[in-house]
Amino acid sequence: MVKIIKDVDIYDHFNEYDVILIGTNLYCTMSQGVQLKVMLNYPYVFNKNLETKYGDKDKLGTIIECTSDNEPTFCLCFITEGYNFRPDKQKDYLSYEALENALKLVNIKYKGKNIACPLLGSSRFDGNGDKDKILDIFNNCLKDVKCTVFDYFQKSRDEETLEVMRKELEMRDKDKEEYSRMVKERKRKAEERFRKNGHRRY
């Protein structure tokens, strides 16, 4: 059974589900959108990804489970070969066959579980695929799990950074004390992320 939630970021809801599915490529990069948030804040997922062979086409259509004590369980789904360097020429770079294969494996591995995911394969960062075709695959493949799909626009790192900076600058003109608090909190969270993952703040 598949349920759709529109225009809500899945990031704040990880702990509400048994398993979180994340779509990714074959090159061990999790550099934008929800993939980046997971990489920065749940480093055990990125470390598990790094254990796979870089660029290995045999990964396409497969899944790997990523766990850590007292943390959400993630499942990486390898659904696209790499990047889309020329979206002006080829907008859609999702492997629909890989998505279908991955979801069939999810349906078997997590039978009876309550799972959630962004709409895999639909964002700029994991395939930019056709939403209707993707939802058909979801509905056809996920018969034995309860799946909540968060269908929303995933922002790039630069887009999120600019949004935060604009809010801070707007507050600086209104309330310098609150502005200072916001900046300190942003930096505190960045240091916390760095302590977790050991290599990146943003």
Q: Label the pairing between strands 74-78 and 19-24.
A: parallel
pLDDT above 70: percentage of residues in the chain: 97
pLDDT at residue 58, as a whole number = 97
Q: Dihedrals φ, ψ of 146, to 5°?
A: -100, 115
pLDDT at residue 101, as a whole number = 98
Q: The whole model's pTM is what?
A: 0.93
Q: Does residue 40 lie in a domain region?
A: yes
Pair 35, 130 in one domain: yes
The tokens describing 48, both together, are: 């598990």
Pair 104, 188 in one domain: no
Pair 175, 103 in one domain: no
Helix (H) or strand (E) holding 24: strand 19-24
Q: Does residue 131 lie in a domain region?
A: yes
Q: Does residue 12 lie in a domain region?
A: yes
Instruction: Look at residue 6 and give its three-state secondary structure.
Output: strand
Q: Does residue 7 lie in a domain region?
A: yes
Q: Does residue 202 lie in a domain region?
A: no
- Asked if the model's pLDDT at residue 22 lies above 80, the reply is yes
Question: What's the chain's average pLDDT?
Answer: 96
Pair 117, 180 in one domain: no
Instruction: Look at residue 63 and give its three-state secondary structure.
Output: strand
| Strand spans (E) along 42-153 | 63-66, 74-78, 114-118, 146-151
- The confidence band for 201, taking pLDDT boundaries of 50, 70 and 90, is very high
- Residue 42's domain is classified under what CATH number? 3.40.220.10
Pair 14, 80 in one domain: yes
pLDDT at residue 85, as a whole number = 62
Partners of residue 5 on adjacent β-strands? 150
Q: Does residue 26 lie in a domain region?
A: yes
Residue with tokens 């604009």: 166
Are residues 98 and 130 in contact, defined by beta-carbon separation less than 8 angstroms? Answer: no
Pair 119, 148 in one domain: yes
Pair 149, 163 in one domain: no
Pair 59, 125 in one domain: yes
Would you tell me how many other CB atoms lie within 10 Å of the CB of residue 80? 25
Note the pLDDT tens digit of each residue in 66-107. 999 999 999 999 999 977 666 666 789 999 999 999 999 999
Pair 115, 24 in one domain: yes
Q: Does residue 139 lie in a domain region?
A: yes
Sheet hosting strand 2-6, strand order edge to edge: 2-6, 146-151, 114-118, 19-24, 74-78, 63-66
- Choose among 27, 19, 70, 69: nearest CA to 46: 27
Domain count, the chain: 2
| Strand spans (E) along 33-104 | 63-66, 74-78
The domain of 22 spans 2-154
pLDDT at residue 90, as a whole number = 75
- Asked if the model's pLDDT at residue 161 lies above 80, the reply is yes
* Count, residues in the chain: 202
Pair 13, 102 in one domain: yes
- Alpha-carbon gap, residue 47 to 45, rounded angstroms: 5
Pair 143, 175 in one domain: no
Pair 68, 139 in one domain: yes
Q: Does residue 25 lie in a domain region?
A: yes
